[in-house]
Structure 1
Amino acid sequence: MDLPEEVVVNIIARLPMQSIVRFRLVCREWKSLTESAFFRDLYHSTSNSTSCNWSILYGDYRSLRPSLKQVKLDLPSSHGNNNPSFPFCFTPTNNEIKKITVVASTDGLVLLRLYEEDKKMIRYYIGNPVLPQWIQLPPPPPPKVDYMPFTDSGLVTRMHNNVALLGYKVVRIFSQALLFTSRTWRFETYSSDTGQWSITQVCRPGAALSRIDTSNPVTLNGKLHWLDHLGCIFVHDFFSHDDQVRAISLPEKLQCGPDTCRKIIFTTSQGYCVLVDAQLIEEVNSYNVRIWRLNSDCWSWGKAWEINMASVGLGSSCVPMAINYFDIDVIYLWDSEEKCFLAFNRRTLAKSYGARKADTFSSSKPFSCLSQFVPSLHVVPT
């Protein structure tokens, strides 16, 4: 007996994402249902959508057959992380490719950069590892000089009601603009709407001196946010016609310049840009952690919470790494003694340890932070 379409949609929307991805292959009708805006709205309104997330490591992977694999936190689902077992793997067919880099991830999409050293050629792939679906982008225009003046910077998306993916842009930045006293920035962007690369120039406020990490900005609502370690955050909306870059001052307590005993993580959680200020307090041999949240309506900072990790029995070996994408009260740490990830819930004071990763990470601090990838059913616009 055939079930009504509405009943089928309600049943499928409550299943784990692994099952939904498999069901898309059953028939054309189910594939059409799971790709509809109604299904996405229903799926995101269920509890499933708040528990499916994991983190991936930004980095280079070099081998005869290079590939990328997910970094799983292996933490209990009660902390909002079910670690679904999707294979996050991309293997090129050309063995001459020597370098693969995860450039960015946002709204369920991942941007890969493949570089062929012998041909001095860059290729970009954008895709959804969950479906899986990968699209090769047209190559950027060749540089007019021997070196490559534009460097990778990020990926921004245009969404409808935070559910439907309408379009995306790949952003490259003119590197020399950051080295000299320039008041303008030049971007080379690929737009899914036009299918072409273009160059734009924007004006930047404030002093020209900066210490910006252009390779890993925070993406939110079509904007890229670059952290300047000299005291502010630069923001630009790539889906607007604004030719200005906005400068946002950091919270006052963070405007004291670089500090070897302080770690600052810039990320997102619950739809906000978030700063994690982890300062090592030698007297108690632990980190004092402050969480700041940026209100984009008035571009002001508010302190979400603060805690001294010594008060919950966590010493300096437990290094803050990330905030949970869905819950700002859950922080992830790397325990260099136990060689595992640790989740701490500030509301409940609960601690959950993951599986040991001694064979995976040889360093006590394998990376500076984790960049979280949230699985989705978004079909990549072509």
Structure 2
Amino acid sequence: MVFLPDDLCATILSRLPIKVFTSFKLVCKQWNSVVESPIFRDLFISQHQNTQSSSWSLIKGASNRTEFLAHYRCKTWGLQRSLESYISSFISYKFENQRGKYRRGSVVAYSDAGFVLIDVSSYRYSGSTFEKRSLCVANPVSQECIEIDVPKAFENSGIFWPFGIATRTDNGVVISYKIVAYSSKSDVGYFVYSSETGLWSSLPYNFESCECNYTISLNGNLHWLSHNNDELVSMDFNATTMESGPFRYTAFPDLEKRVKFKRACTTYQGSLMYMNIVSQDNDDGSVDHKLCVWRLESWEWQLISEISTDLTETYFDYFPLRVDSLDATTAYFLSQKHQRLIAFNLRNGACLLRACLLHSGGPILRFLHHPNGSYFYSFVLPQWLYRLPRQHGEKSVDII
């Protein structure tokens, strides 16, 4: 292949999964130049645009997060293991014992660019003395990472909690990211780290009014549920004016109706999705139960699907997990009672599967652990391998 022109070399390499062609950069300068070029990126995305799905995981939200649903061995990435295994192996490798110190890392947030945010604490063996705290932004698949110091005022404190990371992309490249944290015992409330400046800044805002256990990173913004579960709170870093702060509040579309499940959102190809079974009384005394799906567009909920099937009956013991990352017609539901998973067609109401392990030589959908009613973090790999921007990320900085 040394004698092949770059365009033909790119055509050949673009047909392979991401996990395979990234190692080709080590072969020679020509291949490295081909793989790093924007032309190759566009060619790869074009070749894989009809690929059925990408790797993703659902992770139980708790002090020790556990992956309970994994989808992998897809053509786009070619991963042979679940995402959680890449995260755990990366943490073990990066934060192993060194020079009488013990470093413990735990993932606290996930980005739609394929990055994870890790909270890192360092201890000495003698008396298990706490020494230092930092944050790590990492791509667990490529094992690329940047470590960032927390503000010194909170370095030895347990009242500083990172809970979200938002990434901004331009023409297939991550150009910046922001880390959002809060202090439960501070008049400031929110703190934001920007990779563009390498500095922490403060946002005076009352944390108590928001539910920050679960955040969704999407298109450079962060989203989470309000405490009363009737509003979507968004930190909009793309807002043109910051006079009232970067926060937006979007009421859910079914507030005046009876719903079956606690409200939660999922994502689909750059959009925020919400689904629930809605009950409505008829004039004749009967009750209609419909599965409704909405998409958030221009900060308003648009109804995109409304169906009535056996799924919507009141005795149905499954609850919704997510809309498939690359197939808006498929939604996944889980039964806590029977520990079974189903996929549901949102067009015709057909049940597509009832299984704990699906595998037919192609992608694997594996049901790993029972969620026990916890809230869920969704980690979805994008259609391209994004690199971490490093312009200011490796500096140790103070709060401004």
TM range (shorter): 0.7 to 0.9
1:228 to 2:223 alignment: no
Q: Please give the root-mean-square deviation of Cα atoms over the aligned residues, in Å.
A: 3.9
**Gaps (5+ residues) in structure 2?**
124-128, 281-288, 358-364, 391-400
The CA deviation at 1:327 is 2.5
Which moves more between the two structures, 245-254 or 321-330? 245-254
Point out which structure has higher relative CO (alpha carbons under 8 A, 6+ apart): 2
- Counterpart of 1:4 in structure 2 is 5
Letter in 1 for 2:117: L
Q: How many Å separate the matches in 2 of 1:47 and 1:255?
A: 42
Structure 1, residues 20-68: CA drift from partner, whole Å, max 9, x if none? 2332332333233222222222222223566222114154676xxxxx8
Instruction: Check conservation: 2:330, 2:345, Cα contact below 8 A.
Output: yes
1:264 to 2:239 alignment: no
Using the size of structure 1 for normalisation, the TM-score is 0.77
- Counterpart of 1:73 in structure 2 is 70
Q: How many Å separate the matches in 1 of 2:162 and 2:314?
A: 37
User: Which of the numbers 130, 151, 160 marks the counterpart of 2:170?
Assistant: 160
The CA deviation at 1:10 is 1.6
- Counterpart of 1:106 in structure 2 is 112
- CA, structure 1 residues 335+82, in 2 after alignment: closer, same or farther (shift >3 Å)? farther
- CA, structure 1 residues 358+344, in 2 after alignment: closer, same or farther (shift >3 Å)? closer
The CA deviation at 1:119 is 1.0
Q: How many Å separate the matches in 1 of 2:156 and 2:24?
A: 49
- Counterpart of 2:48 in structure 1 is 47
Instruction: Check conservation: 2:17, 2:77, Cα contact below 8 A.
Output: no
Structure 1, residues 196-253: CA drift from partner, whole Å, max 9, x if none? 232132678xxx973x222322222222223214332232333556322343332342
- Counterpart of 2:285 in structure 1 is none
Q: Highest Rg: 1 or 2?
A: 2
User: Which of the numbers 179, 182, 185 marks the counterpart of 1:173?
Assistant: 182
Q: How many Å separate the matches in 1 of 2:55 and 2:239?
A: 29
SS for the counterpart of 1:143 is helix
**Gaps (5+ residues) in structure 1?**
63-67, 282-286
Instruction: Check conservation: 1:317, 1:336, Cα contact below 8 A.
Output: yes
Instruction: Check conservation: 2:133, 2:155, Cα contact below 8 A.
Output: no
- CA, structure 1 residues 198+50, in 2 after alignment: closer, same or farther (shift >3 Å)? farther
Q: How many Å separate the matches in 2 of 1:153 and 1:280?
A: 34
Q: How many Å separate the matches in 2 of 1:93 and 1:301?
A: 46
**Residue pairs, 1:231-380, within 5 angstroms:** 231-238=230-237, 242-243=241-242, 244-254=245-255, 261-278=260-277, 288-296=290-298, 299-308=299-308, 310-311=310-311, 316-336=316-336, 339-347=339-347, 349-356=350-357, 360-362=368-370, 365=373, 367-375=374-382, 376-380=384-388
Structure 1, residues 63-88: CA drift from partner, whole Å, max 9, x if none? xxxxx8865535897xx998832551
Q: How many Å separate the matches in 1 of 2:335 and 2:309?
A: 13
Structure 1, residues 262-284: CA drift from partner, whole Å, max 9, x if none? 22112221322222224699xxx
Which moves more between the two structures, 10-19 or 310-319? 310-319
Give the structure with the larger strand fraction: 2
Using the size of structure 2 for normalisation, the TM-score is 0.74
- Counterpart of 1:131 in structure 2 is 142
